[in-house]
Amino acid sequence: MGDVDKEHDKDVLILAVETSCDETAASVVKNGREVLSNVIYTQIALHTEYGGVVPEIASRKHIEKINQVIEEALAAAGVTLGDINAVAVTYGPGLVGALLVGVSAAKAISFAAGIPLVGVHHINGHISANYIEHRELEPPFVCLVASGGHSHLVLARDYGVYEIIGRTRDDAAGEAFDKVARAIGLGYPGGPKIDKLAREGNPEAVSFPRAKVAENEYDFSFSGLKSAVLNYLNSCRMKGESVCQADVAASFQKAVVDVLVEHSMRAVREFGCRKFAIAGGVASNSGLRSAFEKECERQGVGFYRPSPALCTDNAAMIGAAGYYEYQKGVRHGYDLNAVPNLRL
Ligand code: KG4
Ligand code: ZN
């Protein structure tokens, strides 16, 4: 056997499945970094009329779509189940009924194909999305995870090994985006809509608070900011003043970004890390990305971020994280359950 064949023998193909919220997703990832396919069926349109994700509808739609999405992922990668080394699946945190669909599908595939089952933490997936487009990135690095359910500042010590430096005390950053979007009449999903509108507004138009948390300088709090936006809107209404949606969007977004940047850069300095990454749905925000780009360049820190499509929920990130778990020897049994509040 030639060297090329030997190299090829060592390739590890992971089939990854993600159903923790409102995207039914499957992907085939080679050696943790190369995405052979990345199929996402998004349910956003279904939930829009309710102004947010309805768990029962999400679970039902996952059941309808999961087999098709997995088959498409295998076909698009040009492989069959016989080529797959392990199946990785998000088992928490997330909506329990939604998670269960992915977990059950992954167990069935693992059993039928006789390949290992590897459960993955959703946030480990988000962070690992950075490995896909930055082949040179290795731990340790500081990472800001900002999604609809989480705002964490972590030190990635090794693959899948995280130390939490700071977390939100109340709302997650994405949750604040969604709630403020609803308040200014933009609807669901709020993050991308605020992002777009903020580009036309003046970020200095309204001065919103940048909350500090006394006990831990790395922790976040966004509920006060959300209330400040609601109060501002109410007082305008009472005074009969018109509200410039774009200015509110831009000023709110700037307040969130300022806090995220300040806390993150302090952690980078404190922990002596020269590498900083962002992850999660909010990491696709254009204002946040350009603020970090500027600040990291100014401070001579390497800045890593997944492209926007890999920031929001997808299965390729689960395949990247799953690969490193698989290499560490992590194997789950058929008693693997969905864990809605799984800790990092
Ligand atoms: O990571 P993700 O897809 O799902 C969770 O694990 O929560 O994050 C979804 C969140 C939502 O709150 C959404 O409004 C927010 O990420 N988001 C954004 C943007 N795109 C998505 N927030 C700000 N700007 C964006 N461009
Ligand atoms: Zn997510």
- What does the pLDDT read at residue 49? 87
Residues 83 and 161 in one domain: no
Instruction: State the pLDDT at residue 1.
Output: 42
DSSP 147-212: -SS-EEEEEEEETTEEEEEEEBSSS-HHHHHHHHHHHTT--SSHHHHHHHHHTTS-TTSS------
pLDDT, tens digit, for every residue of 87-105? 999 999 999 999 999 999 9
- The answer as to whether 332 is a domain residue is no
316 close to 27: Cβ distance less than 8 angstroms: yes
pLDDT digits (tens, 9 = 90+) for 32-91: 999 999 999 999 889 988 888 999 999 999 999 999 999 999 999 999 999 999 999 999
Q: Is residue 336 part of a domain?
A: no
Does residue 341 sit within a domain? no
In a domain, 339, yes or no: no
Tell whether 202 and 289 lie within a shared domain: yes
Q: Determine which of 45-49, 292-296, 311-315, 332-336 has the lowest per-residue pLDDT on average.
A: 45-49
Report the Cα 100 to chain-centroid distance in Å: 19
Same domain flag for 171 and 290: yes
Residue 136 clears pLDDT 50, i.e. is over it:
yes
Residues 126 and 166 in one domain: no
Predicted confidence (pLDDT) per residue in 316-325, tens digit: 999 999 999 9
Q: How many distinct structural domains can be found in the chain?
A: 2
**Is it the case that residue 5 has pLDDT exceeding 80?**
no
Same domain, 92 and 214: no
- In-domain check, residue 21: yes
For residues 229 and 92, membership in a common domain is answered with no
Structure confidence by residue, pLDDT tens digits, 150-187:
999 999 999 999 999 999 999 999 999 999 999 999 98
Residue 154 sits in the same domain as residue 272: yes
pLDDT at site 128: 98
Which residue among 19, 282, 288, 314 is best mutated to probe the pocket of ligand 1, counting the most ligand atoms within 8 A of its Cβ?
Answer: 282
Q: Does residue 177's CB lie within 6 angstroms of at least one atom of ligand 1?
A: yes
Q: Is residue 160 part of a domain?
A: yes
Would you state the pLDDT for residue 9?
62
Cβ neighbours of residue 36 closer than 8 Å, sequence gap 6 or more: 13, 27, 28, 29, 30, 76, 77, 78, 79
Residue 212 is predicted with a pLDDT of 83
Do 119 and 331 touch, CB atoms closer than 8 A?
no
Q: Give distance in angstroms: CA of 145 to centre of ligand 2.
A: 9
Say if ligand 1 is within 6 A of residue 190 CB.
Answer: yes
pTM score: 0.95
Q: 115 with 86: CB under 8 angstroms?
A: yes
Can you tell me the distance from the alpha carbon of 58 to that of 256, in angstroms, rounded to the nearest whole number?
29
Ligand 1 mean position to 95 CA, how many Å?
A: 16
88 and 166, same domain (yes or no): no
Residues 319 and 258 in one domain: no
Q: Which of 177, 182, 197, 311 to mutate to test the pocket of ligand 1 (most atoms within 8 A of CB)?
A: 177
Is residue 151 located within the same domain as residue 293?
yes
Please compute the mean of the pLDDT values over residues 235-258 and round it to a whole number.
Answer: 97
- Mean pLDDT on 141-150: 96
| CB 86 within 8 Å of CB 321 | no
Residue 169 lies in a domain: yes
In a domain, 108, yes or no: yes
Distance CA 111, CA 289 (A): 42
Which residue's C-alpha comes closest to atom 2 of ligand 1?
Answer: 281
Q: Residue 204: which residues within 8 A CB-CB, separation 6 or more?
A: 251, 254
Q: What local confidence, expressed as pLDDT, does residue 4 receive? A: 47
Ligand with the closest atom to the CA of 312: 1
DSSP per-residue codes, 300-341: T-EEE---HHHHSS-SHHHHHHHHHHHHHT--B-TT----TT
23 Ramachandran zone, left/alpha/beta (phi>0; psi -120 to 50): beta
Residue 102, domain extent: 4-130+311-327
pLDDT over 50 at 3, yes or no:
no
Q: What is the pLDDT of residue 320?
A: 98
Task: Mark whether 39 and 151 lie in a shared domain.
Answer: no
* Torsion, Cα of 234, 228, 190, 121 (10° steps): -150
Cα 207 to ligand 2 centroid, rounded to whole Å: 30
Is the Cβ–Cβ distance between 16 and 322 less than 8 Å? yes
DSSP string over 210-235: ----SS-TT-B--HHHHHHHHHHHHH
Which CATH number goes with the domain that contains 60?
A: 3.30.420.40
- Whether 89 and 163 map to the same domain: the answer is no
Question: What's the CA-to-centroid distance between 28 and ligand 1, angstroms?
Answer: 23
Q: What is the pLDDT of residues 197-228, one digit of tens each?
A: 999 999 999 999 998 888 899 999 999 999 99
Alpha-carbon distance of 194 to 250, in angstroms, equals 8
